[in-house]
Amino acid sequence: MKFPSWLTVMSISEYFAGTYREARNNFLAAARTAGTKLTHYTLPNLYGPENEELVVDVARLGPNNPTRILMLISATHGVEGFCGSGCQVGYLTDQLYNVLPANAGAILIHALNPFGFARLRRVNEDNVDLNRNFQDFSKELPSSSLYEPLHNWLVPKDWDGDQRRTADAALKKYISDFGIQRFQASVSGGQYSRPTGLFYGGIRESWSNRVFRQILGEHVSSATKEMAVLDFHTGLGKSGFGEPIYLGSDEEGFKRARKWYGEEVKSTDLGTSVSANVTGSVADAFRRSASQLEVTYLVLEFGTIPILEVLTALRADHWLHAVPNRVTGLRDAIKRQIRDAFYVDAPWWKAAVYVRSADFALRATRALGSS
């Protein structure tokens, strides 16, 4: 096929960026070309490594009050945003929104955790894991008893000395004694007692939590009866493969997700997914709502490197930030390590990720059109 001389054709790799700033520029350019309605939510008083603003950008397509909405979310976990941003740029650039039903719209939330994205952290500006932060903080928080015995091993006092070697040996023995599944559940389910620890859910609603609920209030009207949400994540599973994961214990919702996307959909509640069951996920923002909105919330979890290597990168990053402005010669290596743990900067990986994400966006669109 010969393309017109005025038409610029992007390769899939070009959908993906190397920094938050580049990713944001790519997203805004694609959103404007697509004719979206843009809204911006700026994180106050904090900036990126190039002194850039840190912003959650929302792009809307379709009618003002759609009865059905497809929502695509990137960078819930900061550094994982390289994947989700690229998928969103591809969705807009390839005009996949053109197959939306007449009564449906799309909402793309770019960089829900812009601080983590820009600063190469999975957590936010307060070391909070956004996907453990959607709790009712007026009530008693979930127990951290499974995490507590592991904390000092996960975040030792040194990263290049005897205490690190002792901690590694203790974690290896724990896994040998109890198995990797129990270890993963104990570490990653969510904890609320160690602010410098891994998978910390916080003690109050984070800025991104409040912004997300503001987005729902401003962009999802009472006319909307049904939503399909795709939230892009990385770090678990086979490299380049996107496992579809239904979050929660709603049996009817799980059945609906399998009807829409196929029998390959896994469940954290049933223990069939690469992810442990988590508490306080972004999906809980919808479950706490009193509206009659029916939401089918799916995570697409793309594998990168082996799970214990991902854990090592997370441990190193949390050690680095456990002491504010820690002086160490390891900083640059740790930042490269955590970026590589959640983003495989290779054409084959980007192609696999984008094709899978586009497939699921189109499956969601078909489901919204037939319901």
pLDDT at 290: 55
What percent of the chain has pLDDT above 70?
96
Q: pLDDT by residue (tens digit) across 331-344?
A: 999 999 999 999 99
User: Who contacts 139 (Cβ-Cβ below 8 Å, separation ≥6)?
Assistant: none
Among 5-14, 79-88, 242-251, the minimum mean pLDDT is found in 5-14
- Which neighbouring-strand residues pair with 109? 58, 73
Rg of the chain, C-alpha, whole Å: 20
Q: What is the mean pLDDT of residues 165-182?
A: 96
Q: For the chain, give every domain's residue range.
A: 12-138+189-370, 148-184
- pTM for the complete prediction? 0.96
pLDDT at 25 over 80: yes
Q: What is the mean pLDDT of residues 63-79?
A: 97
pLDDT at 371 over 90: no
pLDDT at 304 over 80: yes
Look at residue 259 and give its three-state secondary structure: helix
Separation of alpha carbons 314 and 197, rounded Å: 10
CATH code that applies to domain 12-138+189-370:
3.40.630
User: Who contacts 225 (Cβ-Cβ below 8 Å, separation ≥6)?
Assistant: 67, 68, 292, 293, 294
pLDDT at 215 over 90: yes
Find the angle CA(331)-CA(344)-CA(165) to the nearest 5 degrees. Answer: 45
pLDDT at 292: 81
Q: pLDDT by residue (tens digit) across 113-170?
A: 999 999 999 999 999 999 999 999 999 999 999 999 999 999 999 999 999 999 999 9
What percent of the chain has pLDDT above 90?
90
Query: Mean pLDDT for the chain?
Result: 94
